[in-house]
Amino acid sequence: MASRSHLLLATLANMRRVVLLILIAGALLGGATFVIAHDPADLEFVPNLDRFALTAAYRRGGEVERANLEAELTPIPGADENAVQLVRDIDGDGDPDEIHFHLEVVEIQEEVYPGEFVTFWVFAPLGTAMTSPARLPSPTLRVEEGDIVEITLYNTHYLPHTIHLHGTSQENNMDGVPHMTNEEVQPGHAFTYRFVAGKPGTFWYHCHVQDQIHPSMGLAGMFIIEPNRPNNNFAHLVPGAGRITSMSKATREQYQNEYSLVYMDIDDHLNRIPAAYSDPREIEKRMHRDYDVTQAKSDIFLLNGRSFPFTLRDSPILVKPDEMTKLRVLNVGPRSIFLHTHGHHPTLTDLDGYPVPKDAQITRDVFDVGPGQRADLALRSGSDGYYASGPGVWLVHDHAQPAATNKGINPGGDHTAIIYDGFLGDDGLPKDPAGHASHEPYFNPDYYKGKVPVFDPKIFGTTLENYEKGWPTTPPAGGNFDYPKRDDNLAPLPRLDLIDGERHKPVANSCQTPVRSKQRIVVKAGTAYAKQGEVYAFEPRELHVERCAEVEIVMENTDEVRHDFMIPGLNPIFALNVVGPKTISGSFVTPDEDVTLFLHCHMPAHDKVGMMGKLIVGKGGPMKVISQLALPPVISKSYEGVGTVVGALPRNGRLIVDHEEIKGFMAAMEMSYPVTPQSLLNGLSAGDKIQFTIDGGNSTITSIRVIEYIK
C-alpha cells in the first residue's frame, strides 16, 4: 500500500481484521495521523466485550457458526470501524447483548436502472473520510430479543430528521414523532434512541419528519429482532437489503435461506428537486410546500433500491431443490403491492412482526402488502407440483401492471426471479433453460429512453434505422385522440460520481524540496458559521498560505456530527475527518507554485449548502471548481492504476480500492469506482493487490488483474 503521509483519515484502516478470523488486509498508512470518528460519549468508553473472548466460541462452532462469527465481527467496507459497536455479553451466552448503531444521513445518487440516476436520502453507517457504505434502501438492522439497543442518529443532512421504530416496543419518548414524542434532530446535532428489543419479528424504521416525503426519499430500512439463542452470532447491519447470509440460529432451525425484500415506488419529480436546486430554503419549499403528494404519480418501482434489470443481479432469490427460504417483505411505498411468485405458492407465516396461527396461515401465489406492512413468507422449492413447479428461473414481481415498467417501458420495475442452482451465469444473471443469457438488450439505456423498439424490427420487415420511416400520413381512424404519454422532456441531471471524480483529480503537487516556512491555521467547522441560505460552513473560508510551506490545520468541529476538511486537488490529498464536538489537527506541504485550490467538506451535500472554500497559495491563480449542478466534461481516456482492494461490492457494481497515484487522473486515495462488466469483481477479496484500467471519461474500471492475492 502506498505511503501517503499527508492523507489524514478518520478511522483506523478499514480492513483491520480479527485475529484467527481474517488476516490483516494491509498495513496502516505510513506516517498518517488517524482520528477515530465516533459518538463523543464513546471516546472515554471501553466496551466490556473483548472480541478475542469470542475465539472460544469460534473454535467450538461448526462451519456455519464460524462464518456467522466472522460476519458479526467483519468491518463494513467504507464504514468507520465503530459504526456498529458490540458491547457486553450480559447473560454470558456467547453473543453480545448490547448493540450500538451509529447512523448518519447521506444524500446519494443511485443508478436504479440503466441510464436512470436518482437522488435519495438514506440512513447509513458512520462513514470514513473517503468513502461511505450508503446505498438504497437504508441498512437492514438486526438484533436479538432482549438486547439493549442504542441507535445514535447523527443528522449530517441539511433538513431535520428523526428515527421512528415502526412496530417495535419502546418508551414513548423514543418514538421519534416530532412535536409529539420527540423534537426533530436538527442539522449538525445527534440523538440516541435507547430501548430493549422486544418480541422477535420483522419491523422497520423510518424518518417521521414530513413523513409524506422523507421515507419515500429513502429514509427507511428493515429492522429485524431475532429470537434469543445461545451463541447467536450474526451480522447486525446489512447494507441495503437482500440475501442475509449470516442467518440467526432460530431461522436456521427452519430455513436454508433468508432474504429481506424492501419494495418502494417513487415519483422521480420529487427526487429531482434536491438534485436540481442547491439552496436548502428552496429545496424545503419545493419539496414540502409546492410538491403535492396527493397528485403524485409513481413512475419508478424499486426492489431493494433497484429496478429491473439491475434487480436480477442485486436481489435474486437463489435456491436449491427441497429447501425452505424465508422471505421478509416490507412495503415502504404509498400504495399496496401484490407480490406474485411464478411457479411457487409460498405460505404466510408472520404479518407485521406477529406469527400467524397455524390454522390461519394461507398458501397462495399473490400476496397483498399495504403501505408500511411486513409479511414473512415461507417459500418451498422443489418439484412437488403443489408448493413448487420445479427448477428453473421463475419471475417474482408486483402484479400491479405499472410496477412491471421503468417509466412505462416493460420489462422493468421490481421484477426479480427465483433462480435455482445451475441457472445462474458467471455474469451474475439468470440463464434460460437453454443456457443462454437473454437480458443484454435491457442493459442498454436507450431501451428505457424509448429509442429502441421492444420487438425485433425484422418482425415488421424493416431495420432499426428505417423503423419510423414510411408510416402513413393520413389521420388515424376516428380522428386524432390523446393518450397518456411518457414524460421524456426532462434533461439529464449531473452525475455526482463524475463530478466527485473530476474534483479529486490532481491540480498541484506538494513541494518536493525542503519546506521554507511553517504556518498554523485554525479552521472552525459547523452550523454556527453558516450564512444566509447555508446550513454548514468553514470559518475562515479563504486560507492564504505561502509556497512550499508546511501548514498545520487545526479543525474545530463545533457540531455533533461528522465533518471533513479536504483539499481534493492537492497531491497527495489532505483530509481531516472527525465527529464533533472535537478539535483535531494535521499538516500538509503546499505546492511551490502560485495556485488556488478548492477545499470542501467531503460529506455528501455539505459543500452544496455552504461548506466550501479556497486555499490560496502564494499569489494564487484561477480556481477550477465544478458545481454539483454542472456537468463535467466527458473525455474518454484510459489510465492504469495499482492498489489494494478495500471492498468488492458486486450488488452495487462497485469496487472500493486504496490506490496509489494514477498519473494524470487521480491522487493517491481510497475511492469507490463503478466496474464494467461487473463480472470483473468475481473472486476479488479485501486485501488483494490489483492492477486496473480506468476510463477517465466516466471514472469506470474496465479491467482488473490481481497482482497478489491476500493469503
User: Which has the minimum average pLDDT: 131-135, 269-273, 550-554, 617-621?
Assistant: 131-135
User: Which has the minimum average pLDDT: 305-319, 426-440, 639-653?
Assistant: 426-440
pLDDT at residue 496 in the model: 85
Mean pLDDT of 35-46: 35
Let me know if residue 455 belongs to a domain: no
Strand locations in 126-267 (E): 140-144, 148-154, 164-166, 190-196, 201-206, 220-226, 237-238, 242-243, 257-266
* Chain segment 389-431, per-residue pLDDT in tens: 999 999 999 999 999 999 999 999 999 999 999 999 888 889 8
Alpha carbon distance, N-terminus to C-terminus of the chain: 16
Query: What is the distance between the alpha carbons of residues 651 and 318, in angstroms, rounded to a whole number?
Result: 14
Name the pLDDT band for 649 (thresholds 50, 70, 90).
confident
* Chain segment 447-506, per-residue pLDDT in tens: 999 999 999 999 999 999 999 999 999 999 999 999 999 887 788 888 888 888 788 888
71's enclosing H/E stretch is helix 63-73
Task: Enter the pTM of the model.
Answer: 0.88
**CATH number of the domain enclosing 689:** 2.40.50.320
Check whether residue 672 and residue 588 sit in a common domain: no
Check whether residue 586 and residue 677 sit in a common domain: no
Check whether residue 81 and residue 221 sit in a common domain: yes
Check whether residue 186 and residue 282 sit in a common domain: no
User: Which has the minimum average pLDDT: 8-22, 45-59, 566-580?
Assistant: 8-22
pLDDT at residue 682 in the model: 86
User: Which has the minimum average pLDDT: 203-212, 618-627, 687-696?
Assistant: 618-627
Alpha helices in 351-486 (DSSP H): 445-448
Let me know if residue 666 belongs to a domain: yes
Check whether residue 215 and residue 123 sit in a common domain: yes
Mean pLDDT of 577-596: 95
Using H for helix, E for strand and C for coil, what is the string for 255-284?
CCEEEEEEEEEECHHHHHHHHHCCCHHHHH
Name the pLDDT band for 514 (thresholds 50, 70, 90).
very high
Check whether residue 308 and residue 383 sit in a common domain: yes
Query: What is the distance between the alpha carbons of residues 71 and 81, in angstroms, rounded to a whole number?
Result: 14
CA dihedral 470, 474, 477, 479 (to 10 degrees): 130
pLDDT at 582 over 50: yes
Query: What is the distance between the alpha carbons of residues 108 and 306, in angstroms, rounded to a whole number?
Result: 14
pLDDT at residue 67 in the model: 84
- Give one DSSP letter per residue of 644-691, joined into a string: EEEEEETTTTEEEEEE--BTTTB-SEEEEEEBSSGGGGTT--TT-EEE
Let me know if residue 65 belongs to a domain: yes
Query: What is the distance between the alpha carbons of residues 378 and 376, in angstroms, rounded to a whole number?
Result: 7
Let me know if residue 469 belongs to a domain: no
61's enclosing H/E stretch is none
Check whether residue 289 and residue 426 sit in a common domain: yes
CA dihedral 473, 474, 475, 476 (to 10 degrees): -90
Name the pLDDT band for 72 (thresholds 50, 70, 90).
confident
Residue type, 89: D
pLDDT at residue 10 in the model: 31
Mean pLDDT of 226-231: 96
- Residue with the bigger pLDDT between 402 and 71: it is 402
Q: How many domains does the chain have?
A: 4
* Chain segment 281-317, per-residue pLDDT in tens: 999 999 999 999 999 999 999 999 999 999 999 999 9
Length of the chain: 711
- Residue with the bigger pLDDT between 479 and 40: it is 479
Check whether residue 371 and residue 510 sit in a common domain: no
The domain boundary, picked from 448, 465, 488, lies at 448
CA dihedral 643, 645, 650, 653 (to 10 degrees): -30
pLDDT at 587 over 70: yes
pLDDT at 350 over 70: yes
Q: Are 108 and 90 in contact (CB under 8 A)?
A: no
User: Which has the minimum average pLDDT: 14-28, 409-423, 426-440, 523-537?
Assistant: 14-28
pLDDT at residue 437 in the model: 65
Let me know if residue 475 belongs to a domain: no
Let me know if residue 33 belongs to a domain: no
pLDDT at residue 193 in the model: 97
pLDDT at 177 over 60: yes
Mean pLDDT of 56-77: 75
pLDDT at residue 422 in the model: 93
Q: Are 612 and 278 in contact (CB under 8 A)?
A: no
Check whether residue 47 and residue 185 sit in a common domain: yes
Check whether residue 569 and residue 642 sit in a common domain: no
In our burial notation (b when 16+ CB lie closer than 10 A, e otherwise), range 205-229 reads bbbbbbbebbbbbbbbbbbbbbbbb
Q: What's the whole-number average pLDDT of the chain?
A: 88
pLDDT at 22 over 50: no
Check whether residue 272 and residue 235 sit in a common domain: no
pLDDT at 220 over 50: yes
pLDDT at 631 over 80: no
Query: What is the distance between the alpha carbons of residues 289 and 267, in angstroms, rounded to a whole number?
Result: 16
pLDDT at residue 692 in the model: 96
pLDDT at residue 348 in the model: 98
The domain boundary, picked from 617, 647, 678, lies at 617
Let me know if residue 403 belongs to a domain: yes
pLDDT at 630 over 70: no
User: Which has the minimum average pLDDT: 149-158, 238-247, 581-590, 629-638?
Assistant: 629-638
Name the pLDDT band for 28 (thresholds 50, 70, 90).
very low
pLDDT at residue 35 in the model: 31
pLDDT at 68 over 90: no
The domain boundary, picked from 240, 259, 289, lies at 240
488 φ, ψ (degrees, to nearest 5): -115, 25
Residues 6 or more apart whose Cβ sits within 8 Å of residue 244: 140, 142, 235, 238, 258, 259, 260
User: Which has the minimum average pLDDT: 52-61, 169-178, 615-624?
Assistant: 52-61
Let me know if residue 179 belongs to a domain: yes
Residue 393, domain extent: 268-448
**CATH number of the domain enclosing 392:** 2.60.40.420
pLDDT at residue 666 in the model: 86
Check whether residue 214 and residue 304 sit in a common domain: no
